[in-house]
Amino acid sequence: MDKEYYLTLNGWRFIFSLLIVWTHLPNDWKGISAYYNYGNTIVLIFFILSGFLIGLKYKSHFENDLSYYREFIIKRSATIFPLQWLMTLLFSLFSINIVTYWAIPFNLTLTQSLVPFWEINFSINVPAWFLSSIFICYLLTPFVLLFSSKNRTLFISFYLSVVICWNLFILVLPDSIGTRWLCYINPLCRFIDFTMGIILSLYWKEIKKISMKLLNGKVVSTVLEIMIIVAIFICFIDESLQNFNDFTFIRYPLILLFLIIFSLSSGLLSKILSSKIFYQLGELSIAIYMSHIFVLYFIKKIDLSSDSKIILTYIFTILFASLLVKYYCPYMQKKVVKLLTKK
């Protein structure tokens, strides 16, 4: 995978992680943006982006068989489990959002997203459901990559059939049945979104070749970058679109176009986002996502103005995430890899 693609998208990961923090701030701290529920769209972007990056990096490893499966899962586990274990421990020690202690083993094993009860999937560190869902996606990814390499046409046909059937099922579902877990947390539903990103990676060479002919020049690319950002912003604040959050396929074209434009890295904004500082900040994104609720718990106890508490939340979240990424995560990742590779 061309590292330039990752650099630009890494910058966006940082920006989106900050926006996720904003969505979780108390409404009485915020102004008009408190009424905009754009968290669903950002989470959807994260799932498709993750599938895209994983597909670019690992599709060549599963062209013929699943012999690389064990090593792939070990690497993915070492990346996400240490952070999850630490946050589960901290939330438990300080008794933060412990709806039921039965949620602890599910959180430690990243299986809480499989359970359709909010007392489990939204207990302890609420954002951790995303890590649970993404881990389930990792477990299934090698099979998708192998399937697509054997018969891409059949794979695409099967995927489209799944998307159609799933959305028809949601459409006819009685209103009395809640869709919070079914459409938002459910890892099997989220794997549909994740797979959309994988499909983008499968056709990336062809897409890049066509796009480079159309995107001729920095000015054109920069204009398109601004236009797609405006479109994403409209998607964030348009209440009519938010009424269709359960039907994520509606936002696929916009998100795919966003990833394509910024992956080409030819516009002015892409150049800024691919700078060293944004790359380093992008590396903090998952730690910011996983730790901000913990930081927010203590900031709420301070008697200061709302603006001051918002600033402190961001400062201490970024500082805490920096420490985790620099010291804790690398150390624990090595330990996990060593443990899982023992024979």
pLDDT single digits (tens) 127-168: 999 999 999 999 999 999 999 999 999 999 999 999 999 999
- Nearest Cα residue to 90 out of 331, 308, 343, 292: 292
Taking residues 62-73, report their average pLDDT: 95
* pLDDT given at position 225: 93
Contact 245, 183 (CB under 8 A): yes
Contacts 24+ apart (CB under 8 A), 171-180: 171/247, 179/246, 180/118
Asked whether the predicted pLDDT for residue 7 surpasses 90, the reply is no
- Tell me how far apart the alpha carbons of residues 190 and 188 are, in angstroms, rounded to a whole number: 5
Burial of 176 (0-12, 13-18, 19+ CB in 10 A): exposed
pLDDT score for 35? 55
Mean pLDDT over the full length of the chain: 91
- pLDDT value at residue 71: 95
- pLDDT-derived band at 242, boundaries 50, 70, 90: confident
Q: What pLDDT is recorded for position 174?
A: 83
| Residue 299 in tokens | 């900031």
200: its two tokens: 């983008």
Report residue 279 CA to chain centroid gap.
17
- 33-58 tens-digit pLDDT: 555 678 899 999 999 999 999 999 99
CA pair distance 17, 287, nearest whole angstrom: 9
Return the minimum-mean-pLDDT range out of 76-85, 171-180, 313-322: 171-180
In 66-101, which positions are buried (b, 16+ CB within 10 angstroms) versus exposed (e)?
A: eebbeebbebbbbbbbbbbbbbbeebbeeebeeeee
What percentage of the chain has pLDDT greater than the value 90?
77
- pLDDT grade for 2, boundaries at 50, 70 and 90: low
pLDDT of residue 34: 53
